Amino acid sequence: MPKWLRGYLLMVKWVFLSYRAWLSLNFAVQIGIAVGFIFGISFLYPAITPDIAKYLTTGAPTLILLIVGFVVGPQIIASARLEGTFDYIWSLPVGRMSHLAADATVMFGSTLPGIILAVGLGAIHFDFSLDISPLVIPAVILIGAGGTFLGYSIAFLVPKPMMVMVITQIFSFVVMLFSPVMFPVERLPGWLQSIHEVLPIQYMADLTRGTITDLDVNLGLAFIVVGAWCIVGFIVTLIVVNRRQ
Amino acid sequence: MLLEIKNVHKVYKGKVKANDDISLSIAEGEVFGLLGPNGAGKTTLVNQIIGLTIPTSGSITLNGVDVVANPGYARESCSFQSQTQVPISGLNTLQAIELVGRIRGGSKADVRRRAMELIDKLEMGEWQKTMGITISGGVRRLVAFCMAAVEPGKIVILDEPTNDIDPLRRRILWQEVQELAKRGSAVLLVTHNVLEAERVVDRLAIIDQGKVMGMGTTSSLKEDDGDTMHLELILEPSQAEPTLPDFLQNPVIVNRRIVALVNPADITTAIDWARGLKESDAIEEFSLGPTTLEDIYIRLVQNPDEGEQPGEVM
């Protein structure tokens, strides 16, 4: 087995065991959120149609993945920076990116049950059909990786770990209310639409919608834009993580 | 020499000079002590050896390999016990030790055998299956030591390994440190616990304000003090410290303990003075003996002008 793979797998084990207690709780919370989300939509939109329900439900995977990548991940990094644990972890013969990849793997693994449940339950409850393509796998990996790389870049670029906590809270607010994940981009003012033409968020939502439903989205463009952001995020993360004072 | 550090300067942003022209070297099988007060620049130097930070100037080579340019080689070659606590809250003792052993390239069977050996030797069996989050700071420190010793690298770097550890296990830990050296690893021991270091190290460097103030074996460092003697007094509880006479050199008062050096010509006077304090119940006890490493340490750290950078790497 290549050394990097062995190191990565052992770090996955380390991270999994370390987060074990949190993961059980997170699993329960994810299930609760998924169920709450589906039934909560009915309260927000009493006259909801299957089409609107499909749109909202299929936005949930992107929202969950982005919140984990942009908010939960950076906050974990910020606490680790505050505790000084990177001094130890980075002294081990495992590449820094392998360690972060292990972290991201466990975090995203923990979101999948909630995502699958939310989408499945939504389809049953609101009576719409899913059209799941094999492309859903690369799509979810790309959204998860893109969100994580961008989140990690922020977590390491912001000098004060406490500031990371504040910034990620702002991010979650922006993603929830001012990003075209749960509503079409046309509802935003023109200037915000222009910004979202460049940002990856609406394309991430397109990726999930286009791979789990028959909704008409430009999947090719979504893969290209999210892929490009993923590469940028990877390069920035690689640089900031391997920086030495 | 296995590790060669030559003329290392480290200046942080804001012009904080953490290391100032440090040169030293460590051989295989040697226990080398890096002693100095808090903020002396010890951890900064260690962080440069293991590739976490890079020197502003100077070179660090390990087995002839430039570790500044090849931090990956440094990580492969150095096993490290960090001064900060290790992130093992979610792991039990055995899992934590075994995971590091496996990450450092050990086979499953060898790592299990060695982990159990360390757990037995350090009498940690009762915590073998205890989660890191519930064990005390001292036991966590022991676990961190085992993590560094389970699959030791060419260099084992121990940063304050005995903090919070009970005296009996400290003794066993020091034996293990020497065992690591016997097995061929070089051990770099970073500490400000001078008394303990004296019993373990083969050679040492005392650093202060980023500079090497003295380096050599304990005996060679003591030679500079000639026949000077070490006087130690323990004050009676709640007694005010007495006025210290001029013949006491480099006196240091820590809590109830007064330590000073005495020239051979002043020994009789010093004994008479100490006896007088004892008879007036100002002190509990006193002792006079040969100078210790602690005396050398205090002299070099208190009087930085006396320190000298060795002209060549030892």
Query: How many beta carbons lie within 10 A of that of residue A101, not counting itself?
Result: 18
Q: Are residues B209 and B232 in the same domain?
A: no
What tens digit of pLDDT does each residue of B80-91 get?
Answer: 998 877 888 889
Q: Are residues B192 and B141 in the same domain?
A: yes
A17 and B80 in contact by Cβ < 8 A? Answer: no
Q: How far apart are CA B155 and CA B173, in angstroms?
A: 17
Q: What is the mean pLDDT of chain A?
A: 88
Q: Are residues B262 and B196 in the same domain?
A: no
Percent of chain A with pLDDT over 70: 100
Work out the minimum CA distance from B80 to partner chain A, whole angstroms: 7
Whether residue B14 is contained in a domain is answered as: yes
Q: How far apart are CA A104 and CA A110, in angstroms?
A: 10
Cα–chain center distance at B268: 35
Whether residue B298 is contained in a domain is answered as: no
- B87: nearest CB among A7, A10, A88: A88
Q: Are residues B8 and B83 in the same domain?
A: yes
Percent of chain B with pLDDT over 90: 61
Q: Are residues B237 and B189 in the same domain?
A: no
Whether residue B296 is contained in a domain is answered as: no
What tens digit of pLDDT does each residue of B124-160 get?
Answer: 999 999 988 889 889 999 999 999 999 999 999 999 8
Whether residue B199 is contained in a domain is answered as: yes
Size of interface A-B (CB pairs under 8 A): 71
Amino acid B304: pLDDT: 55
ipTM above 0.90 for this complex = no
Q: Are residues B207 and B240 in the same domain?
A: no
- A93: nearest CB among B52, B76, B82: B76
Query: How many beta carbons lie within 10 A of that of residue B205, not counting itself?
Result: 25
Q: Are residues B186 and B246 in the same domain?
A: no
Tell me the CA end-to-end span of chain A in Å, nearest whole number: 33
Q: Are residues B178 and B199 in the same domain?
A: yes
Q: Locate B212 and state its tokens.
A: 């090497």
What tens digit of pLDDT does each residue of B163-210 get?
Answer: 888 989 999 999 999 999 999 999 999 988 888 888 899 999 999 999
Q: Are residues B130 and B216 in the same domain?
A: yes
Which neighbouring-strand residues pair with B32? B188, B203
Q: How far apart are CA B93 and CA B115, in angstroms?
A: 10
Closest by Cα among A182, A187, A207, A171 to A54? A182
Q: Are residues B98 and B240 in the same domain?
A: no
Whether residue B271 is contained in a domain is answered as: yes
Q: Which amino acid is at B273?
A: W
Residue ranges per structural domain of chain A: 3-241
Radius of gyration of chain B (CA): 22
Q: Which residue has the tokens 């972890």?
A: A89
Residues 6+ apart with CB under 8 A from B25: B1, B2, B3, B4, B5, B313, B314
The CATH number covering residue B107 comes to 3.40.50.300
Work out the minimum CA distance from B133 to partner chain A, whole angstroms: 10
CA-nearest residue of chain A to B159?
A88
- Whether the CB-CB separation of B212 and B241 falls below 8 Å is answered with no
Least confident of A195-199, B144-148, B241-245, B273-277: B241-245
What tens digit of pLDDT does each residue of B259-307 get?
Answer: 888 988 999 999 999 999 999 988 999 999 888 888 888 878 876 555 4
- B84: nearest CB among A7, A14, A84: A84
- B103: nearest CB among A18, A84, A92: A92
Whether residue B305 is contained in a domain is answered as: no
- Whether the CB-CB separation of B30 and B202 falls below 8 Å is answered with yes
Amino acid B99: pLDDT: 95
Q: How far apart are CA B264 and CA B267, in angstroms?
A: 5
Three-state DSSP string of chain B: CCEEEEEEEEEECCCEEEEEEEEEEECCCCEEEEECCCCCCHHHHHHHHCCCCCCCEEEEEECCEECCCCHHHHHHHEEEECCCCCCCCCCEHHHHHHHHHHHCCCCHHHHHHHHHHHHHHCCCHHHCCCEHHHCCHHHHHHHHHHHHHCCCCCEEEEECCCCCCCHHHHHHHHHHHHHHHHCCCEEEEEECCHHHHHHHCCEEEEEECCEEEEEECHHHHHHCCCCCEEEEEEECCCCCCCCCCCCCEEEEEECCEEEEEECHHHHHHHHHHHHHHHHCCCEEEEEEEECCHHHHHHHHHHCHHHCCCCCCCC
The CATH number covering residue B254 comes to 3.30.70
Q: What is the mean pLDDT of chain B?
A: 89
Q: Are residues B92 and B196 in the same domain?
A: yes
Measured CA angle at A225 (ends A148, A101), to 5 deg: 20
What tens digit of pLDDT does each residue of B7-49 get?
Answer: 999 998 877 889 999 999 999 999 999 999 888 999 999 999 9
Whether residue B299 is contained in a domain is answered as: no
- Give chain B's domain count: 2
A92 and B84 in contact by Cβ < 8 A? Answer: no
- Whether the CB-CB separation of B10 and B18 falls below 8 Å is answered with yes
What tens digit of pLDDT does each residue of A151-169 get?
Answer: 888 888 888 888 888 888 8
Whether residue B233 is contained in a domain is answered as: yes
Range of the domain at B73: 3-220
Q: Is A25 on the interface with B (CB under 8 A)?
A: no
- Count the alpha carbons within 13 Å of B50 in the hemisphere toward its beta carbon: 28
A244 and B54 in contact by Cβ < 8 A? Answer: yes
Q: How far apart are CA B193 and CA B250, in angstroms?
A: 19
Q: Is B105 on the interface with A (CB under 8 A)?
A: yes
Cα–chain center distance at B266: 33
Q: Locate B78 and state its tokens.
A: 């150095």
Q: Are residues B153 and B240 in the same domain?
A: no
Closest by Cα among A173, A8, A31 to A99? A8
pTM of the model: 0.84
